[in-house]
């Protein structure tokens, strides 16, 4: 099943200077795909991830999510899709500062109309080494612990598609490996993952690898 499709997408930012990080990108993401997008800092990887998740207006082209062109969706339809079907792991923290880590996860679970499943909250927090920190606020955690909490918030939704923007930043090799393992399990369960990373070691876990350069995606050979 096709989860997301980009057709000839172009994206310019009209700030002081016109910047066009995405010039012409077409991409199809199917259930069970593990994609990785690589490229140097500032090239447009985060921009592309936001476009895939329907978070940015594009300059031209089409974006289809779950079979529907987002141009034809109402604001409510698009919000529902982003909330229920897509799990974002942003580069910067999007945790709610006033809630503990455990409450953050429960809040996300209640937002996505999922039945409360406390067992899953506990399982994820344990798996990510955060169970002992469950009553801490985000700003009481280390950078790496916060990153793992952001991963937990995306996974608790059990979404169709996970968009992970440098999810191993601030993590040592042990926890980075654990995060990548969790993302691989999502794929094994028939869902899809798009990973943005600089790190070749983690990029090699993906089935489909692309380099973003000069506004265009180039598919790389995978072993
Ligand atoms: P990457 O994730 O690969 O580091 P980004 O997608 O964040 O790159 O940014 C790509 C380019 O687009 C950069 O040159 C950046 O300055 C520019 N850019 C990103 N967001 C905005 C914005 N909101 N307004 C203007 N320019 C932006
Ligand atoms: Mg980025």
3-state helix, strand, coil in the chain (%, to 5): 35, 30, 35
Would you place residue 223 in the very low, low, confident or very high pLDDT band (cuts 50, 70, 90)? Answer: low
For the chain, give every domain's residue range: 2-220
- What digits encode the pLDDT tens for the residues 82-136? 999 999 999 888 899 999 999 999 999 999 966 788 999 999 999 999 999 999 9
Domain 2-220 has CATH 3.40.50.300: yes
- Round the average pLDDT of the chain to a whole number and report it: 94
Q: What percent of the chain has pLDDT over 90?
A: 90
Ligand 1: centre distance to CA 209 (Å): 21
Q: Where are the alpha helices (DSSP H) in 3-135?
A: 45-52, 75-84, 101-111, 118-127
Would you say the CB of residue 46 lies under 6 angstroms from ligand 1? yes
Would you say the CB of residue 42 lies under 6 angstroms from ligand 1? yes
Would you say the CB of residue 197 lies under 6 angstroms from ligand 1? no
Would you place residue 141 in the very low, low, confident or very high pLDDT band (cuts 50, 70, 90)? Answer: very high
CB-proximal residues (5 Å) to ion ligand 2: 46
- The radius of gyration of the chain's CA atoms, rounded to the nearest angstrom, is 17
Would you place residue 153 in the very low, low, confident or very high pLDDT band (cuts 50, 70, 90)? Answer: very high
Q: At what angle do helices 143-155 and 101-111 cross, to 10 degrees?
A: 20
Would you say the CB of residue 53 lies under 6 angstroms from ligand 1? no
């Amino acid at each position: 099943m096709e989860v997301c499709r980009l057709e000839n997408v172009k994206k310019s930012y009209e700030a002081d200077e016109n910047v066009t990080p995405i010039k012409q990108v077409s991409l199809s993401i199917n259930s069970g795909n593990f994609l990785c997008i690589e490229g140097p800092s500032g090239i447009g990887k985060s921009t592309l991830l936001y476009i895939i998740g329907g978070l940015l207006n594009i300059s031209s082209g089409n974006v289809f999510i779950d079979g529907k062109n987002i141009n034809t969706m109402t604001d409510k339809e698009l919000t529902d899709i982003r909330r229920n079907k897509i799990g974002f792991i942003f580069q910067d923290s999007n945790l709610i500062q006033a809630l503990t880590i455990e409450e953050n996860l429960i809040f996300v679970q209640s937002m996505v109309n999922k039945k409360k499943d406390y067992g899953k909250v506990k399982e994820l927090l344990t798996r990510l080494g955060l169970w002992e920190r469950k009553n801490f606020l985000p700003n009481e955690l280390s950078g790496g612990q916060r990153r793992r909490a952001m991963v937990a918030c995306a996974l608790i939704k059990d979404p169709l598609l996970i968009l992970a923007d440098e999810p191993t930043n601030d993590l040592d090799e042990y926890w980075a490996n654990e995060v990548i393992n969790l993302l691989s399990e999502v794929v094994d369960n028939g869902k899809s993952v798009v990973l943005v990373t600089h790190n070749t070691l983690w990029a090699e876990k993906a089935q489909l690898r692309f380099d973003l350069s000069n506004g265009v995606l180039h598919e790389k050979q995978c072993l």
